[in-house]
Amino acid sequence: MSAQLATIQAEDRLRLHRDGAVLLKNVIAPSMLGILEEGLEYIESNPDGMSAGVGLPLRIDQFPARHVPAIQTFIDQSPIAELVGSALEAPITFYMDQTFYKPAGIMMPSAWHQDTCYYNVSGHQLIRAWVCVDPVPRSASLEVVRGSHLWNVTYRPPVGMDPNADPDGAAELQARFERGERLIGPEAYEQWTYFDSFLDPTLPELPGIEAARDSFDILGWEYEPGDVILFHGHVLHSARGGTHLPHPRRAHASLWAGPDVHYLRRRSQAIPDPIGLYELDPADGQYLSEFPEVFPTAWAPKS
C-alpha cells in the first residue's frame, strides 16, 4: 500500500464489530480506482449471463471479476484483501463480487436486505468491501441499520419466486431442497435472474425499515472515491433512491470470508455458488478453508 494511504486502526475494527459497518477514508489510490472504473464501464456494455438488471436504472452483475480482467486486477492488486483481513485480524479468502451500476439521473434505490441469506454460506466473519468510483452523497450512498448484524435473525431475501403466486413452482423447489439439491445450480452462470430463487416462506419477513426510518438506528456516510465501506454480511443495508445525480454511481462490492465461514445449503439461495465449488459437492458445515483450490488465502496476518 502506498505511504499516503490510510490503514486500518483499532477504532475502525471497533466500529465494524460494534456497528456492523465502517467507512475507511482514503485507502484506495486513484490509479486503482482508474482500473476499477475501466472494469465497471466494460461490464456495463458487455453483459453476460449474470447481468440480471440489464436495461433497468440499476444494473447488478454477479461475479464480474470472472470475465472482466480489470476487475480481477482490482481485486488482486488493490489493498482490499489486506483491509478486510486486517479488520478481522484473520486470514481471509475471496468469496464473490458484484457491481452496482446506476446511471446518471434519479437514483434507483437498492432495497433493504442482508447479504448472508442469498448465499450458501454461514459464519460471522463474512465481510463486504464496497467501493465506488464516483462521489456519492449521503442520500444515495450505502446505509446500514447499526448493530443489526448481531440480531441473530436471518430475514427472507426480498426477491424470488413467491409461493403464493406460484404454489406448484414453490412445491417443486421445496421437493428439490428436501432431496438435498442446491436450488441454484452451475447452469445459472449461463442465464440467471434474482427471480429464479425461492422466496423462502420459512424465514421471517424483513421489517418495513424505509417506511419507519425514525424507528431504526440508520448509519450512513458521504462517500468520496478512495474510501471503502466495510460491512458485515449479516447487517441490514440499502441505498436510498430518489436523489438526482449528474453523474453515474458505479460501485463494486466484494465479499470476503474468514476462518469461521462454512458451507450451508440454503432454501433462500439466490446467488450461485462460486463455480469451482459445484464439482466438490460440499456438505453443510464444511469450512471454506477445506477447499483451498477454490478459496486460496488472499491475505493473512504476519505471524
List phi, psi (to 5°) of 183.
Answer: -80, -20
Q: Which of 16, 230, 239, 277 binds ligand AKG (CB under 6 A)?
A: 239
User: By rule CB under 6 A, what string of x and - marks binding of each residue 132-161 to ligand AKG?
Assistant: ----------x-------------------
Residue from 33, 40, 68, 251 that binds ligand AKG (CB under 6 A)? 251
Examine residue 115 and tell whether it contacts ligand AKG (CB under 6 A).
yes
In single-letter form, the type of residue at position 184 comes to I
Distance from C-alpha of 141 to C-alpha of 133, rounded to nearest angstrom: 12
- Nearest approach, Cβ of residue 237 and ligand AKG (Å): 6
> Least CB distance from residue 100 to ligand AKG, whole Å?
4
Radius of gyration over alpha carbons of the chain, in Å?
18
Report how far apart, in Å, the C-alpha atoms of 6 and of each of 156, 189, 264 are: 37, 37, 36
Element (H, E) at 282: none
**Of 253 and 277, which CB lies nearer to ligand AKG in the complex structure?**
253
Please state the closest distance from residue 4 (CB atom) to ligand AKG, in A.
Answer: 27
Q: Which of 100, 119, 221, 299 binds ligand AKG (CB under 6 A)?
A: 100
Considering beta carbons, is residue 128 or 266 the nearer one to ligand AKG? 128
Number of residues that bind ligand AKG (CB under 6 A): 10
Residues 218-237 that bind ligand AKG (CB under 6 A): 237
The answer to whether residue 59 forms part of the interface with ligand AKG (CB under 6 A) is: no
The smaller minimum CB distance to ligand AKG, of residues 180 and 246, is found at 246
Using CA atoms, how far apart are residues 23 and 238, in angstroms rounded to an integer?
A: 15
- 36 binds ligand AKG, rule: CB under 6 A: no
Residues contacting 213, CB < 8 A, separation 6+: none
CB 31 within 8 A of CB 49: no
Q: Which residues pair with 113 in a beta bridge?
A: 237
126, 87 Cβ separation under 8 angstroms: no
Which phi-psi region, left, alpha or beta, contains residue 89 (left: φ > 0; alpha: ψ -120 to 50)? left
Q: Is 97 in the site for ligand AKG (CB under 6 A)?
A: no
253 binds ligand AKG (CB under 6 A): yes
Place of cell 465502517: 22
- Which among 64, 63, 77, 3 has a CA at the least distance from the CA of 35? 77
Between CA 173 and CA 167 the distance in angstroms is: 10
Using the rule CB under 6 A, is 110 a contact of ligand AKG? yes
- Judged by beta carbon, residue 82 or residue 115, the one nearer ligand AKG is 115
Least distance CB 110 / ligand AKG (angstroms) = 3
Q: Is 254 in the site for ligand AKG (CB under 6 A)?
A: no
> Could you list the residues that contact ligand AKG (CB under 6 A)?
100, 110, 115, 128, 130, 142, 237, 239, 251, 253
